[in-house]
Structure 1
Amino acid sequence: MIVLIVAQVVGTVGVGVAPSIGVLMAGEVTQNEAWAGLARTASTLGAALLGLPLGNLAARFGRRAALTTGWWIAAAGSAVLVVAAQRSQAVPMFVGLLLIGAGSAVSLQSRFAATDLAEPRHKARSLALIVWVGTVGSVLGPNLGVPGQVVGDRVGLNVYAGAFLIAAVFLALAGLVVVAWLRPDPLLVLRGEAATAQVPVSQAHAPDGARRPGRIRVVLAELRVNPGARLALVAILTAQVVMVSIMTMTPVHMVHQGGSIAVVGLTISLHVLGMYALSPVVGHLVDRPGARAAVLVGVAVLLVSLVIGAVRAHDTGWIVVSLVLLGVGWSFVNVAGSALFAAVVSDRTRASSQGGVDALANLCGATAAFAAGPLLALAGFSMLSLCAIAVLVPLTVLALRSASSFVSGPGRREGSGS
């Protein structure tokens, strides 16, 4: 847990640069709203494309191999972005943003790694702790513009290139922390404990990535018969779509309203603070009353946020409030869904299915962010918020219909997947 915490803090500093500095750089380099919209989704798309391979890597070789690889891929992407920002080159910018998405993928995987050896009644608390410590890095990341300017002045780089240079160093350090000190590997220890408990060889030792078609069929079959897994999946996807679509377009909307890079950075930082600061509280709520209660609280907070965004779209102060509440609502829904999924998924598909869920969430987020650009341009921020409200409806219906017997808290191993 200590190693995961340190790596998460250090790595998320580098990852946090993409939602603000990366978004603004995309608009300046491309000078085209359509291309800029694609660039804004590139890091999320990269997380989606790399999430499943990194999950499979964890399934075959353990968490240490997967997390190290992901952090170092992101560091390489950030280094590419230094060149792209300095030379205003669009293609390297797309490549760099795709690669830096690996940092988001392993940041998400780290929260599942925290549950590998956690006591059943404390799985949500352990997961929430890793999410919470990401606050430090994720709040600092969007504000790398100021130190980026200082570094850039000293080495001859512009503000964007300087910010991504700092990010590359932090991402590389995160990988170094994991490869040097994540010993023993928690997932491999979990498998060893399963073998000691005389779990069948097919579940205890067979690598998740050994037979890809069979693994996918097993995961899909489990979703069909496991109501807890279905609720968890819908919760994770809904939270990601709503949060990414609004958060990605907010810097653009604020700049159009005359906001500066400093104001944008502060707003995103407060939003990220909202995402992570209450994670321990959410974890406790999930471990006690249950995931269903936390999901419904999160939906209510998201609704308030989106109503504010729709009604007070041109008021900077209210937009900041809306973004903070957006982060808090995402925290409730995402932590509850992730903890529930970690509790109910079968051990034999654990790592790869977790990677698949994160990949799908990022893919949905990237799609939503890309669609949000034209919607913002055509209809404005208020309409974007109203569309996000509509996305909440299926999750709300599913959570209200769910029987408390299978969402009564991950610590009690609810669901047929247990």
Structure 2
Amino acid sequence: MTAPTTTPGDPLGATTVAAVQRRTVAVLVLTQAVGAVGITIGIATASLLARDISGSDGQAGLAQTFQVLGAALASYVLARVMAMRGRRLGLTTGYLLGACGAVLAVVAGTIDSMVVLLLGAVLLGSTTAANNAARYAATDLAEPAQRGRALAIVVWATTIGAVAGPNLTGPAAALARWLGLPELTGPFALGSIGMLLAAALVSTLLRPDPLLLAREVAGTAGQVPSGTSWGRVVAAVRERPVLVAAVVGLAGAHAAMVAVMVMTPLHMEHGGAELRIIGVVISVHVLGMFAFAPVVGWLADTLGRPVTLGTGGVVLVVALVIAGSAPEGSSWQIFGGLFLLGLGWSFATVAASTLVADHAPLDARADVQGAADLVMNLVAAAGGGLAGVVVALAGYRALSLGTVALGLAVLAAAVAAHRLTPVAAAEHPGHLTE
């Protein structure tokens, strides 16, 4: 994509498209770095706030579960917006809705309303959906052999805000006390500012829109996709069954990560761990999720998506076994297990997402990607919802070891993707002009 030539299917010229791709990735990196603060700053306190409002450990995971459920619903809604109007409007909408959710979380803590908290959590999921969609936006104009790296660099950018976010838990709590608010609402107040800034950045700078430009390059600009959104998804899956393996890998990894992560703060608090230490553990976990993404993307492009996906499954299983051995409070097992849990998630998510980007047809690209994230988040929401019940009845160890089944599902998805990818690559190479 470096020769300054034009073709009937590429009226802008390859050089121009390559320049737009570089700018797109740069804008998405900046947006992710800022928006991630809004997403992750409340992770360490969401379950604690839900527990305080409800008065029940069994309901502690509901806030995170409803946020994941909101991400699932928003994935579908935002995908429809992007399919019709492009990435920029969809991403901006997601960040703005998330900011509204953060404000509702503050209100919920102030008036002790579980209903308001769960409503806010659903809207907060819109920011998660927007960040998820941003990784796909990075692949709209990327060369097929570089999609993994393009997607991964945007995932990596989340590290900046995601690691800083949980570490702002202490200062945010102090700010809340100074304002006369419950200290657990402070992270959500600061998070709303990050989401508003992310919306401003993407709305202002993501021009031209990468998805709309990809359609223009392919000569399909202005064409209205036939059928319904779900109809296009079903047709794509029937034609390219490797997409099923990719979605299973996404869903299994995300559900495993969410189920254990949401209950870790409560497990640590039961052992007397301070909020500051809980925030550090979550930061280490988030570091594993995002910091090594560029390496994972390079591996996905070099060794192949299925091998990288399978590696993620192995790391997830090891992580869950280690976390399951952690005593209450702070321990090396909880630090190591949560770090590896994030790293396994990174391997699986980058590889599976790149598979989706490879094989989603252009006329249904946003639809297929949105449906993949919808399934991923619905399964994770179910896992998060059950996590609190499992911990209440059988303990954190039972939750961690039981979740090993999801890591094994990721491994199975990798095997299936390996069998299907050669056929899919031969029949549908996934070129930009497809």
Q: Could you state the TM-score of these two structures normalised by the residue count of structure 2? A: 0.88
Name the CA shift for 1:401/1:38 in 2 (closer, same or farther; >3 Å): closer
1:59-208, aligned counterparts within 5 Å? 59-195=83-219, 205-207=222-224
| Residue of structure 2 in register with 1:335 after alignment | 350
Moved more, 30-39 or 88-97: 30-39
Q: Separation in 1 of the partners of 2:94 and 2:158?
A: 16
Taking the aligned partners of 2:194 and 2:426, their CA distance within structure 1 comes to 34
- Other structure's SS at 2:61 match: helix
Q: CA deviation at 1:337?
A: 0.1
Residue from 397, 403, 407 that aligns with 1:382: 397
Task: Report if the CA contact (8 A) 2:142-2:150 is conserved.
Answer: yes
CA root-mean-square deviation: 2.3
Q: What is the match of residue 43 of structure 1? A: 67
Q: How does 1:348-363 map to 2 (within 5 A)?
A: 348-363=363-378
Q: Which amino acid aligns with 2:243?
A: A
| Cα distance between partner residues in 2 of 1:47 and 1:330 | 17
Greater displacement, 151-160 / 255-264: 151-160
Q: Per-residue CA shift, 1:21-79, capped at 9, x if unaligned?
A: 22211111111234333233111111111110001100000011000000001011111
Matches of 2:431 and 2:203, distance apart in 1: 36
- Selected match of 1:218 from 207, 211, 232: 232
Please say if residues 8 and 174 of structure 1, whose CA atoms lie closer than 8 Å, have aligned partners that are also in contact: yes
Question: Distance between the aligned counterparts of 1:411 and 1:106, measured in 2?
Answer: 32
Quote the Cα distance in structure 2 between the aligned partners of 1:93 and 1:155. 19
CA change 1:407–1:250 in 2 (3 A) is: farther
AA aligned opposite 1:348: D
8 A contact 1:121–1:411 mirrored in 2: no
Name which of structure 1's ranges 399-408 and 310-319 shifts more when overlaid on structure 2: 399-408
Counterpart CA distance in 1 for 2:162 and 2:114 is: 25
Tell me if 1:278 matches 2:302. no
In the alignment, the residues of structure 2 paired with residue 324 and residue 87 of structure 1 have an alpha-carbon distance, to the nearest angstrom, of 35
Matched, 1:373 2:388: yes
The residue that corresponds to 1:198 in the other structure is: none
Structure 1, residues 115-172: CA drift from partner, whole Å, max 9, x if none?
0111221111010000001011111222332221332244333322322211111110
Counterpart position of 1:8: 32
Pick one of 332, 351, 354 that aligns with 1:317.
332
Query: What secondary structure sits across from 2:140 in the alignment?
Result: coil
Give structure 1 stretches of 5+ with no counterpart: 196-200
Aligned-residue identity in percent: 37
Question: How far did 1:16 drift?
Answer: 0.6
5+ residue gaps, structure 2: 1-24
Secondary structure, counterpart of 2:402 in structure 1:
helix
Structure-2 separation of matches of 1:61 and 1:402: 32
Alignment match, 1:249: 263
Shift of 1:275: 0.4
SS at 2:218 equivalent: helix
Residues 359 and 402 of structure 1: is their aligned pair in 2 closer, same or farther, counting only changes over 3 Å?
Answer: closer
What residue identity is the alignment partner of 1:230?
V
Q: SS at the partner of 2:272?
A: coil
One-letter identity of the residue aligned with 2:360 = V
Instruction: Look up the match of 1:289.
Output: 303
1:223-242 matched pairs, under 5 angstroms: 223-242=237-256
* C-alpha contact 2:233 2:371 (8 A) present in aligned 1: no
Amino acid at match of 2:73: L
How many residue pairs match? The answer is 408
Aligned partner of 2:7 in structure 1 is none
**Alpha-carbon deviations, 1:231-257, whole Å to 9, x = none?**
211110111111111111111111112
